[in-house]
Amino acid sequence: MKTFSVTTDAIGKGVLLRFKGELDASSSVYADNALEETIAASSGFVLIDCSELTYISSAGLGVLLAAFQACNLKEMDLVMVNMQPKIRNVFEILGLDRLIKSAETVEEARQMIAK
């Protein structure tokens, strides 16, 4: 069985979620719940650390788009951090890199948000 996990850490006025494993149809509900809870409880920003995300399916992309829309409604920033090359490639092919912000490091993401 493929595994997926999410850990959450408060940082400043926002939250850092660390995605690990494969975000596909079977794990997308888990990721969606974690994001919904985080966005509902936060008023600052949401960073998603993808350094250990090894795969993302269309279901996973749908979860991220829903989170992006929820953040927009609350006027919060959503930033993808440290995407692996194959994950970044999917974002670029679909044009999501022009919609959802991304940064190489958590510090870079925090500076991006501060502007």
* Domains of the chain and CATH, by start: 5-113 (3.30.750.24)
Rounded Cα gap, residues 12 and 73, in angstroms = 21
Task: Confirm whether pTM is higher than 0.75.
Answer: yes
Query: Going by C-beta distance under 8 Å and a sequence separation of 6 or more, which residues neighbour residue 86?
Result: 55
Q: Rounded to an integer, what distance in angstroms lies between the CA atom of residue 29 and that of residue 98? A: 25
pLDDT of the chain, 115 residues: tens digit per residue: 468 999 999 998 899 999 999 999 999 999 999 999 999 998 899 999 999 999 999 999 999 999 999 999 999 999 999 999 999 999 999 999 999 999 999 999 999 998 6
Angle 69-10-16 (CA atoms, 0-180°, nearest 5)? 50
- pLDDT of amino acid 115: 67
